[in-house]
Amino acid sequence: MSNSPAKAPYPKKITVALSDRCNLKCFICVREEYERNIGSKGHNMPLEDLYKMEAALRDAEIIQLSGFGETLLHPQLEEILHYIYSINPRKNLIYLISNGTLLNAKWAELLGPRLNYLALSLNAAHPETYKRDMYPYLFRYTRETAPEAYAGKRFADDDNIRQVPCQFDRTMSRVGEFMAALDDDARQRVGLHYVVHNDNMDEMADFVRLGKSVNATRVEFNQYMVNRIAHIDYNIFFHKERFNARVQAAKQVGAELGITVIGREFGTEPHQEFNPNKDCNWPNAEAMVMTKGDTPPCCHIGLGDMGNAIRHDFDDIWNGNAYQKLRRERWMSGCQSCNLFQTFDDWRSHFHPSVRFSPQFENLAGEMHEETRVNKPPKLLILGAGRDGTRSVANLVAGLHEANGQQATVHHDGGSFRGFSAVTKYLKGDDEWLQEVCRSWDADIVAGNTFNFALPVLHKVFGGDLKVIHVRRRRDDCLASLERAALADPLLWDGYVEVADRDAVAAPELYDPTRPAAPLLGEMDDGDWRAMSLAARLEWLYDASHRAIEENLGLFGNHLTVATEDLNDPATVQRIARFVDRDFRQLCPPVHVNHGLRGTVNTLAGNERSEALDALADFDYHRLATSETYPVVYFLQNMVAAHAGKDTEAAILELKDLRGEIESLIAQAEGRAGPTAAQWTNDENSGLRLIVDRTFPSDQSERIEAALDGFQAERLAASPSYPVIHFLQQMLAQKPVNDPHDENLAMTYRFMAEQVDGLIQQALTS
């Protein structure tokens, strides 16, 4: 079976920016900068270019035809709509964003029956506000107060242009004509949108009344995301009470007029940490194609070319290396501060990071702003070349803390595309992003192999008091394990294992998320590297990683080197305990997690294998050998984490299914009739088995092998409850009921049932 990810379904929503031209000059827009960057006033995508995306357009559930411009300016728009309708028969298909200046009854006839949603971006309730914000060069600035804004403009020497009649009334007349021509159903799918800033906040209620005047049924308010330091005074973030009062008044007017008013409020959303890998589904469900064919990762980042949909086949882009990596991990810098998913009270919903970290922000904020969360620097760094036990050592150290009445959190950064990209930029001379990545850690213990070649930056960020443990595995064993890992997951080992589309479609910078190789460090040229075998490349990685670690250990005052093969030795556990904290008096058993496995896990396709290994990553095989309840508890905790932030109804259904399975096991243990527990059908190749090495005594290996027998790793991604049920059934199989009932076993099952009941209640109240 191939270890390449399966071909991804086409995006459910595809955005094609038909035109990046615009007939307005909204002051909140970065249009001036955009036109300077592209060297023109914009372009229109020819219909012929759209044909090249036909397969994706045919399959899409929503097609958005707006990007960075006014779509109705496109001279072929009517022809384009007829073409799309001919290949995609879905109703509620077309999504548009428009400033409304060109709407009329003709567009209502063309769009209405197939409209998914039309967002009319108006941003003002009165003519003077409209003129000020949508035609800023006619109102907001003069040649004397803002000469840089006037430079190069066709009216730079003609202040009489300020007397041009305002277009507000004409625009609203056209919007009214369009709305009147729609049927009731289509009218429900049109919304009047208003970007709120400090200068137009007081017109929000009037904007709802304006909506009523054109028969709108929906009004939506969104905050201005301040993206220029010069605009910092336009924020609403430091005017929370006033904003809340205005949005509440607007909602009250909406209730009176029968208009749905959408608007977030400060202080109403519980704080929730944003996890881009869990919360963002863009790379799986949506794609964006700009006017000239470039495909940015999403509408928020807007930068980075995943490929060009005019020059390349869309399939090659959508299933290309760059998209596969982004689906695996939202590794880009913009992903970490994405404003689309932040709570309303978080500064990230209101300011671009360049504005937030400016002196102007600090001066404006004063004592009014306090970070909701400040990450703590790590106390211990655990390094290795990969496949040498850094995760096991990290969990061992956490166990030592627990044994001595303390708590320690762990972050494992092995195989992180984000980390690889940051290290690559550092090795090319820019350490800013790497510093940002380091400061984002929020754990006492950081372990992995991502930062072996960047230890000077970690010293720069955290200082020399950071303790470091260097873990080194026997070379031959480590290389064998690295080769298995590389062959099983070529995407993670891009540059070491050649991938099918290595020379394909994405911009070169999007290949930065690769682990460092010899050419990047200047040790050989690309041709020599490509001529090497995988085994030779891994030998270089092993030697270069340990060499880089050893050369920089002196930067840190406290460092310790341990051999992977000694981790089972109580004396080694004691050495590590003394190194971490000389006051530790209690030890804990050795830990072996993320252990090499063979069997079905290595036959899975790339993404499925990655998800299965993530589920097994912290599974401790020592505890599996000594505790029959450990695997149930471990996977039950995994199940909770898997449902965190996801659809509550789906989580409750799966928990209730699990509760029913446990009830059947209780009945069997008590010797009474009960519903039959689900039996998992295993084929002859099912099950996980340990890769034989010197780590475990033979009796422990046998117990582990028995516990893993029949375990189907391919079920891990699809069903978080599967491993819980599997190991519960293992407990029943290993402890057959000899008496009418086995109260001890039944009591264990009842305890598990109580845990699941608690999770169900938690889900119901969340």
722 vs 143, 207, 450, 653, 702, CA distance in Å? 69, 53, 32, 14, 23
Rounded-to-integer distance, Cα 724 and Cα 566, Å: 32
- Highest-scoring range by mean pLDDT, 226-230, 487-491, 580-584: 580-584
Burial readout 652-677 (b: 16 or more C-beta within 10 A, e: otherwise): bebbeebbebbbbbbbbbbeeeeeeb
| 301-323 per-position pLDDT tens digit | 755 688 899 999 999 999 988 88
Rounded-to-integer distance, Cα 225 and Cα 350, Å: 5
Rounded-to-integer distance, Cα 655 and Cα 663, Å: 12
Of 13-27, 72-86, 536-550, the one with minimum mean pLDDT is 13-27
Q: Please report, to the nearest 10 degrees, the dihedral formed by the alpha carbons of residues 424, 428, 430, 431 taken in order.
A: 40
| 425-482 per-position pLDDT tens digit | 999 999 988 998 998 888 999 999 999 999 999 999 999 999 999 999 999 999 999 9
| Alpha helices, H only, 140-196 | 147-150, 168-181, 184-187
Confidence category of residue 502, pLDDT binned at 50, 70, 90: very low
Tokens of 118: 């039309």
Q: What would the mean pLDDT of 8-30 be, rounded to a whole number? A: 90
CATH topology of domain 13-365: TIM Barrel (3.20.20)
Question: Is pLDDT of 673 > 80?
Answer: no
- pLDDT at 560 (0 to 100): 97
Domain spans in the chain, listed from the N-terminal domain onward: 13-365, 380-580, 597-765
Confidence category of residue 685, pLDDT binned at 50, 70, 90: very low
Question: Is pLDDT of 597 > 60?
Answer: no
Count the neighbouring beta carbons within 10 Å of the beta carbon of residue 190: 27
| Alpha helices, H only, 441-509 | 455-462, 475-488
Top pLDDT among 574 and 730 is at 574
| 700-742 per-position pLDDT tens digit | 667 776 777 777 766 766 677 777 777 777 766 665 544 556 6
CATH number corresponding to 380-580? 3.40.50.300
Question: Is pLDDT of 639 > 60?
Answer: yes
Tokens of 526: 């690309």
How many residues does this entry show for the chain?
A: 766
- pLDDT at 339 (0 to 100): 77
Rounded-to-integer distance, Cα 118 and Cα 86, Å: 21
Q: Which amino acid makes up residue 513?
A: P
- pLDDT at 644 (0 to 100): 55
Mean pLDDT of the chain: 82
pTM of whole model > 0.85? no
- pLDDT at 641 (0 to 100): 64
Top pLDDT among 594 and 455 is at 455
